[in-house]
């Protein structure tokens, strides 16, 4: 597939892509609401797995971004707690483009300030947490355990918590790992290659190029305990450092 250049500077092409993103959401919102209403909410998985990837692909096309998925496992493990490296605004697009089965996203509370995200997020059962209030975030996650387990849903989380963190791979928070232990779920690491290079930090300006989602082997958590949790988290984070080809000392020195 060829990707358009338009002869525009990067920032103009990015503005066009952002406008298309919100236009598509406006157009699809009534369709999604109709599907959810007539199905009494049962269409949530169909929306996340089938419709969401369709919605973001045109935005990537306009941005000149080629998206690919590479499996490094014999099959996709599900249900599971999926984790990603989070350092770019592009992560939102690539997460939706994956179309993972029966997935629910743990997102920051502020996403709900956008009325479209609020309506669609709540109706499809996404999980919004207040990241700066750790106790409330943990309470919110615990309240969702019963629904997640009952419906055999998977959860997507970013162990770094935010894309604004020191270095390439930031310190990992315990939330995703505690959730995997509580649910008795494996952890499936997904490594986004190219997101940070095409769109650094909090900017919405993107370059054209290649983005690849590497889905790795599931990590069994049955022998994880509170006593060895820190060690297990370090092992998982070291995998991301290896995939980034950096040492831990190098990460701290890169801004």
In a domain, 216, yes or no: yes
- Among 209, 188, 213, 190, which residue's Cα sits nearest to residue 200? 209
- With a CB cutoff of 8 Å and minimum separation 6, the contacts of 151 are 102
Rg (CA), the chain: 18
Residues β-bridged to residue 241: none
The label of the residue with tokens 């801004």 reads 255
pLDDT in tens, the chain (255 residues): 555 655 567 778 888 998 999 899 889 989 999 999 999 888 999 999 999 999 999 999 999 999 999 999 999 999 999 999 988 888 989 999 999 999 999 877 676 677 777 777 777 888 887 766 566 666 767 778 888 988 999 999 999 876 666 668 889 988 899 999 999 999 999 999 999 889 876 677 888 899 999 999 999 999 999 999 999 999 999 999 999 886 564 444 332
The label of the residue with tokens 């997102």 reads 107
In a domain, 255, yes or no: no
In a domain, 1, yes or no: no
CATH number for position 121: 3.40.1130
Look at residue 43 in the predicted model and tell me its pLDDT: 92
In a domain, 251, yes or no: no
Q: How many domains does the chain have?
A: 1
In a domain, 121, yes or no: yes
Strands in 187-193's sheet, in edge-to-edge order, are: 65-71, 209-215, 187-193, 81-84, 154-157, 103-108, 127-129
Euclidean distance between the first and the last CA atom of the chain, given in angstroms as a whole number: 34
Instruction: Check if the beta carbon of residue 142 is closer than 8 Å to that of residue 106.
Output: no
Pair of tokens at residue 7: 């002869």
Q: What is the DSSP string of 20-87?
A: HHHHHHHHHHHHHHHHHHHTTTTTHHHIIIIIHHHHHHHHHHHHTEEEEEEE-SSS---S-EEEE---
Instruction: Check if the beta carbon of residue 60 is closer than 8 Å to that of residue 93.
Output: yes
In a domain, 253, yes or no: no
In a domain, 3, yes or no: no
Whole-prediction pTM value?
0.87
Look at residue 83 in the predicted model and tell me its pLDDT: 97
Instruction: Check if the beta carbon of residue 78 is closer than 8 Å to that of residue 128.
Output: no
- Among 80, 71, 49, which residue's Cα sits nearest to residue 188? 80
Domain extent, residue 40, equals 10-246
Instruction: Check if the beta carbon of residue 53 is closer than 8 Å to that of residue 129.
Output: no
In a domain, 81, yes or no: yes
Instruction: Check if the beta carbon of residue 103 is closer than 8 Å to that of residue 82.
Output: yes
Pairing of strands 209-215, 187-193: antiparallel
Look at residue 251 in the predicted model and tell me its pLDDT: 42
């Amino acid at each position: 597939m060829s990707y358009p250049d338009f002869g525009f500077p990067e920032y103009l092409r990015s503005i066009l892509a952002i406008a298309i993103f919100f236009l598509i959401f406006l157009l699809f919102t009534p369709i999604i609401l109709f599907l959810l209403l007539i199905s009494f909410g049962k269409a949530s998985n169909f929306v996340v797995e089938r419709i969401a990837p369709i919605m973001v692909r045109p935005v990537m096309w306009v941005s000149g971004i080629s998206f690919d998925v590479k499996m490094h496992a014999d099959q996709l493990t599900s249900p599971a707690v999926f984790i990603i490296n989070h350092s770019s605004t592009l992560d939102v697009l690539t997460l939706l483009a994956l179309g993972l089965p029966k997935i629910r996203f743990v997102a920051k509370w502020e996403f709900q300030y956008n009325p479209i995200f609020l309506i669609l997020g709540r109706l499809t059962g996404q999980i919004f947490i207040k990241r700066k209030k750790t106790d409330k975030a943990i309470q919110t996650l615990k309240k969702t355990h019963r629904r997640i387990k009952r419906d055999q849903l998977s959860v997507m989380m970013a162990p770094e918590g935010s894309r604004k963190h020191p270095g390439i791979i930031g310190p990992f928070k315990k939330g995703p790992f505690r959730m995997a232990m509580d649910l008795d779920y494996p952890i499936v690491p997904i490594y986004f290659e190219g997101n940070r290079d095409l769109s650094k930090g909090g900017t919405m300006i993107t370059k054209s190029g290649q983005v690849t989602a590497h889905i790795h082997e599931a990590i069994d958590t049955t022998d994880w305990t509170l006593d060895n949790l820190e060690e297990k988290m370090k092992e998982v984070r070291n995998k991301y450092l290896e995939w980034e080809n950096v040492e831990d000392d190098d990460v701290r020195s890169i801004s």
